[in-house]
Amino acid sequence: MAKGDPGGTTRSKRAAPRSRKGATGDPQLVQLLTPEGERIDSVIGPDGNEYRVDFTDEEYRGLYRDLVLVRKLDAEATALQRQGELGLWASLLGQEAAQVGSGRALRTQDMAFPTYREHGVLYCRGIDPIMPLGLFRGVDQGGWDPNEFKFNMYTIVIGAQTLHATGYAMGITMDGKTGTDDGEAAIAYFGDGATSQGDVNEAFVWASVFNAPLVFFCQNNQYAISEPLERQTRVPLYQRAAGFGFPGIRVDGNDVLASYAVTRTALDNARLGQGPSLIEAYTYRMGAHTTSDDPTRYRIASEVEAWQAKDPIARMKAFLEKQQIADAGFFAEVDEQARRESVHLRERVLDMPDPEPVTMFDHVYPNGSPLLDEQRAKFSRYMESFEGSAH
């Protein structure tokens, strides 16, 4: 079995942990859909919670559609980067189920705090998928309204957003919006590497102490750029929660149903005033860290192949076929929609205009600054001095 597999016994020689029980030693992870597409009706998690989903056929098909669409749009963005249309792209390939599962578990009123890779969650929040491309193309800094969509800006500084989410969740409590079924919750996304950051650990402390209605959603995709999980931790990440005083659970992050079920339960608990929890979505980043990265330098092909066999879309498709929830016509139609949307995305990216240079002076301060106004005026005069002269 491959390194990085929760049930695996082989270990990388590089890490050489002292004990046999290392970062990936705990086999307990919540799963509702096996890699072969077999449905597990319900499971009692190691935390004692029962996890199950009860979807209509339509909803199952909807989840499949989400998975295919976000993968296709992500692939289009990667291609656009390769063609020089984006400066950089952080692909979600392989992490679709964790993102769509958790993203669909959110209610309209819940607030999400993403990293730079949460394109699937962004999609689930109803934000136009072109939005993050502006950031990576360099024409803006991410163009959506965080308050309107309840999805904050992407955060590049690793772990910083977990504190923002914690404060926001404290505000939910202070506003009296917990304890009822229509209450609110917040969710913070971060990676396995982020768990080493001080901010993430501070966020754990704060969320616990203030009983914040918050779900910490860690996508353990096994790598922080080139560094394997063993460089960040010697205990399974979800077990960290216990030390901070709230529950932690590991879910099969390639299983959209389990990701949904686990997130929904955690959000409900938060909403009801039971405080934070940590979800470790155990998954794998199939592509490069970003388009500027070369994963062949730090990981082996057999590992990637082993995870290929657990692909989140393939297993959902197998399930839909076995249960006769969807037919060939449906799959063709979804593929066609994905193709159309990605073509549309491409066209719109190419049409994205560069911003007017003088707009770099906008929005530095809500109340402006006389020094900046002066600088902007000087810059404008300078730019105008070129007019006509060059042509």
Partner 1 sequence: MATETLTLGKALNTGLRRALENDPKVIIMGEDVGKLGGVFRITDGLQKDFGDQRVIDTPLAESGIIGTAVGLAIRGYRPICEIQFDGFVYPAYDQIVSQVAKMHYRSGGRLSIPMVIRIPFGGGIGAVEHHSESPEAYFAHTAGLKVVTCSNPQDAYVMIQQAIASDDPIVFLEPKRRYWEKGQVDLDAPLSDAYPLHSARVVRPGNAVTVLAYGPMVRTCLEAATAAAEDGRELEVIDLRSLSPLDLTAAYESVKRTGRAVVVHEAPSNIGLGAELAARITEECFYSLESPVLRVTGFDTPYPASRVEEEYLPDLDRVLDAVDRTFGW
Ligand X SMILES: Cc1ncc(C[n+]2csc(CCOP(=O)(O)OP(=O)(O)O)c2C)c(N)n1
Question: Which is nearest to 34 in space by CA: 312, 307, 283?
Answer: 312
Q: Closest separation between CB of residue 276 and ligand X, Å?
A: 19
Active site residue 344: no
Choosing from 285, 299, 346, 376, the catalytic residue is: 285
Q: Of the listed pieces 32-40, 51-59, 162-170, 309-317, which binds partner 1 according to CB under 8 A?
A: 162-170
Q: Is 276 in the site for ligand X (CB under 6 A)?
A: no
Residues in the chain: 391
* Rama region for 183: left / alpha / beta (φ>0; ψ in -120 to 50; rest): beta
Q: Closest separation between CB of residue 89 and partner 1, Å?
A: 19
Q: Find the binder of partner 1 among 6, 17, 146, 245 (CB under 8 A).
A: 146
Q: Closest separation between CB of residue 244 and partner 1, Å?
A: 11
User: 8 touches which of ligand X, partner 1, none (CB within 5 to 8 A by kind)?
Assistant: none
Q: Closest separation between CB of residue 191 and ligand X, Å?
A: 2
Q: Of the listed pieces 32-40, 57-65, 198-206, 305-313, which binds partner 1 according to CB under 8 A?
A: 198-206
What track of x and - describes contact with ligand X for positions 132 through 171 (by CB under 6 A)?
------------------------xxx-------------
Q: Is 191 in the site for ligand X (CB under 6 A)?
A: yes
**Residue 261 and residue 225: Cα distance in Å, rounded?**
29
Active site residue 65: no
Choosing from 61, 137, 264, 289, the catalytic residue is: 289
User: 31 touches which of ligand X, partner 1, none (CB within 5 to 8 A by kind)?
Assistant: none
What track of x and - describes contact with ligand X for positions 277 through 296 (by CB under 6 A)?
--------x---x-------
Question: Residue type at 266?
Answer: A
The DSSP symbol for 222 reads: S
Q: Alpha-carbon dihedral of residues 335, 61, 256, 309, nearest 10 degrees?
A: -50
Computed on alpha carbons and rounded to an integer, the radius of gyration of the chain in Å comes to: 22
Q: Of the listed pieces 76-84, 154-162, 272-280, 282-290, which binds partner 1 according to CB under 8 A?
A: 154-162
Q: Is 358 in the site for partner 1 (CB under 8 A)?
A: no
Residues 176-183: contacts with CB under 8 Å, at least 24 apart: 178/213, 178/270, 178/271, 178/272, 178/273, 179/272, 179/273, 180/271, 181/271, 181/272, 182/109, 183/213, 183/271, 183/272, 183/273
Residues 6 or more apart whose CB falls under 8 angstroms from that of 137 comprise 85, 86, 87, 349, 352
Q: Of the listed pieces 37-45, 65-73, 166-174, 271-279, which binds partner 1 according to CB under 8 A?
A: 166-174
Question: Which is nearest to 202 in space by CA: 254, 164, 151, 146?
Answer: 164
**Residue 291 and residue 200: Cα distance in Å, rounded?**
26
Q: Closest separation between CB of residue 194 and ligand X, Å?
A: 4
Of the pair 278, 338, the CB lying nearest ligand X is at: 278
Q: Closest separation between CB of residue 110 and ligand X, Å?
A: 21
Of the pair 194, 249, the CB lying nearest ligand X is at: 194
Vertex 389: Cα angle to 387 and 391 (nearest 5): 95
Angle at which helices 160-174 and 198-209 pack, to 10 degrees? 10
Q: Is 190 in the site for partner 1 (CB under 8 A)?
A: no
Active site residue 11: no
User: 287 touches which of ligand X, partner 1, none (CB within 5 to 8 A by kind)?
Assistant: none
What's CA 244's distance to the chain center, in Å?
A: 23
Q: Closest separation between CB of residue 178 and partner 1, Å?
A: 13
**Residue 254 and residue 277: Cα distance in Å, rounded?**
20
Active site residue ranges: 285, 289, 298
Positions touching ligand X (CB under 6 A) are 117, 156-158, 190-194, 221, 223-225, 285, 289
